[in-house]
Every structure is written in structure tokens, then in C-alpha cells.
A = this chain, B = another copy of it.
Amino acid sequence: MAARNVEERLERYAELAVRVGANVADGQLVFVRGADVTHAPLARAIARAAYRAGARYVDVSYFDQHARRAMIESAADDVLEWSPPWVVERYRAMKDERAALLSTTGDPEPELLQDLDGERVGRARPKEAIEIQMTAFREGANNWSGLAYPTEGWARQVFGEPDVERLWEAVAFCTRLDEPDPPAAWNDHMSRLERRAAALNARDLDAVRFRGPGTDLTIGLLDRSRFAAARFDTAWGRSYVPNMPTEEVFTTPDARRTEGTVRSTQPLALAGQIVRGLELRFEGGRIVDVRAEAGADLVRGQLESDDTAHYLGELALVDGGSRVGQTGLTYFDTLYDENATCHIAYGFGVPQGVEGEPGGDGYNLSTVHTDFMVGGPEVEVDGLTRDGSAVPLLREDVWQLPE
């Protein structure tokens, strides 16, 4: 691709993230965050686009997994979960100033911490800062969005070779950047997913059941659980799309009512390790057994983070019509992999997945939220109604309800 076109594509992509994703408001404070240093071209393009959208100030910060690695290897045990006061102040400003947040993903080295003690990797995160972020999410303080940046490192992880252009093509397809009018395409797409969510809500389901190889899992719902698509509104009335791409309809289950076993159907890139072959067993909502071919200690470390990390907070349905799924790739990036197929998350419940305020009995207020993939052509998904009958939702990745 000619350099000029590469540049122009990047600017259009950043523009989409700012206008449709976070939907940055005039005069708003904007944080571009979580960027690997290799994401600098996208982070900068987002900063420019945010100012064009009227941002008052754009803060660009980078996340360095190598520095985190050095910390996990060497720092004292109590430092692992420490939140430096300047980091706390930053998270507080994001929340109190109702900032727009844009995160970039696409880890060039998702296995960088694979050889480290998984339990320490799982615990190593600034807990007080994350609690502030979770409060901000619960209160609907921020319009935010995440999007990935194709780099050589990430392409090597996906394809085994640094074919950045091929990865860009997949990203452009999945984020509808390949459409003549991407914002209009996004609006159509979100409306379609919202109709799907409405159809599910009309069934007034009491639970959802997954059945497949290694999986027989029933996830109970709250009376006030509601299916939704990932187009949200802040508490102050700003619409935004938190994930680009997004292909899911999701809900927030009753954290107390998950029973059975589940086998993950895709590897999970998590905090610098890749978890493979994850198998969880639930009793009374709680994860009581964790197994994996790789990364089990990391998951166990995360689950020990707080009282309710062991319980679910999200259940999401994705069918074979997903653009991400259609690419047939494993991205080792949750933003992509979770939108290729059905997934569930242990930890924090998604506020937009319930009617009314988040919190209360059965709503999970953990500081962890880890999605992992449980769907695929071999996994049957049924809704269970209050009278005990089963409504087929997915068979061989095909959506079963009328659209």
C-alpha cells in the first residue's frame, strides 16, 4: 500500500474511534491509554482526531509490559498490588472529569510473561486505581472505546510472520473501515444487534445453557438481567461504542446461579501470558476448580484478587455471522477473540446488562473482569424459560431466533 494511503487509512481509523467509538464531546478531557510503544502512530492519530473533535486536552500514556515484567520479577510482594498515588490521581481525574477514554490493543508480545510465576502475574495490578475505574464504569462516568493497532509483533503472533498489511485488512473488515460510510455501517450494525437483544429480552429467560465438548454449563439470570448490544450511554447522556469491533449481545447474570463445567474454545491472552485449554467448574455460582494446559496459576492469581472474582459477571452471545469469526483467525487479543464467538467473564458485572442501578443481590462488584471464549460450532446454546422449557439460541454457530 502506498505510504499516503497507509497514512490516510490510519487517520480514518482514528477518526472512527473518536467520532463513533468514544464519541468525544466538545471541550472534553481525553485519555489515550494502555498503548504499547509500538502503537504510537495510532495513539498520535487519535490525539489529533480528538483535538479536531473539540477535545480540551489529550493525555497520551503508554503501558510498558517489559517494565511490568521487571516489577513482577523483582519487586516485594506488597508492591505488586500497589497503586502509586500519581496513578490513583490519574484514574480519579478520568472519573471525576467525566473524560473520554480511548485504549489501544494488539499486544506485540502476548507471551512476554509466560515464564513468570503465574500467581504473581495475576496479582500484579494497581488495585486501588482499578477500584476507582470500576466505580466510574458503574456510575457511567465515561464514554470510552477500545480498538487495536496492527503492528509487526502482533501480526507475527497471529500469522507466524510479520504481515502487517494482511492484519490491517482483517482489522479494516472487522471494524467496518472497509465500508464506503463506516459511521452509517456502524449505526446499521448496532441497530441490528439491538434488535437481537430485544428479541432475547422478549423471551424473559431465566437461564442460558451451553453444551459442547467439555462443557455443560447453566448460567442463571437475574429478574432484571437484560440483553443489550455494546452501544452505551454515559450517565450524562453521551452515546458511545466501547468496543471496535463488537459483535455480541450480552447480559449480566445472577452471580449466585452458575452450575456445571465449561471448557474454553480459544486461547486467552491475559496480562502477558496465554492461557490455553482453560476448564472451570462452578458450584453455587462460584468457580471451585481451575484447570488449564497453560496459565492456570495466572487465572487462580486473578481469582484471589477479591471476594467475588470467583463469580461470573457477563454472558455474551456471538453467532457465525460475526465479521471477526468470519476471518477464521485467532488474534490473541480479547477485543477480537471475544467478538468471534460466545464468551463469558468472571468478575465485575456489566452495568448495562441489568435494568436499573448496578449492585444488589446477585450483581457482581469485583475489581476483576476477564472474558474468555466458550462458543463455537460444536457448542449448543439454549435459553431456559421460567417454565423450564428450552429455547434454542445457537446451533452450529447459526442464530436460531427470528431476526
Q: Which residues of A contact B (CB under 8 A)?
A: 32, 37-38, 40, 43-44, 47-48, 51-52, 55-62, 64, 66-67, 70-71, 73-76, 79, 82, 84-87, 89-90, 92-93
Contacts and interface: CB of A to CB of B under 8 A. Distances in A.
B64 A44 contact: yes
The DSSP consensus for interface residues of chain A is helix
A70 B85 contact: no
A67 B47 contact: yes
The interface centre, meaning the residue of A37, A48, A51 with most chain B CB atoms within 10 A of its CB, is A37
B84 A86 contact: no
Contact of A73 (B51, B66, B86): B51
B84 A59 contact: yes
Number of copies: 2
Given A82-B57, A84-B59, A90-B86, A47 B70 contact: yes
A40 B66 contact: yes
For the complex of A and B, 4 pairs with smallest distance between CB atoms: A51-B74, A86-B90, A89-B89, A37-B37
A93 B82 contact: no
A24 to B, nearest CB: 13
Nearest to A90: B86
Contacts of A58: 67, 70-71
Contacts of A51: 70-71, 73-75
A67 to B, nearest CB: 4
A186 to B, nearest CB: 25
28 contacts: A37-B37, A37-B40, A37-B62, A40-B66, A44-B67, A44-B70, A47-B66, A47-B67, A48-B70, A48-B74, A51-B71, A51-B74, A55-B74, A56-B75, A56-B79, A57-B75, A58-B67, A59-B86, A60-B64, A60-B67, A84-B93, A85-B93, A86-B86, A86-B89, A86-B92, A86-B93, A89-B89, A89-B90
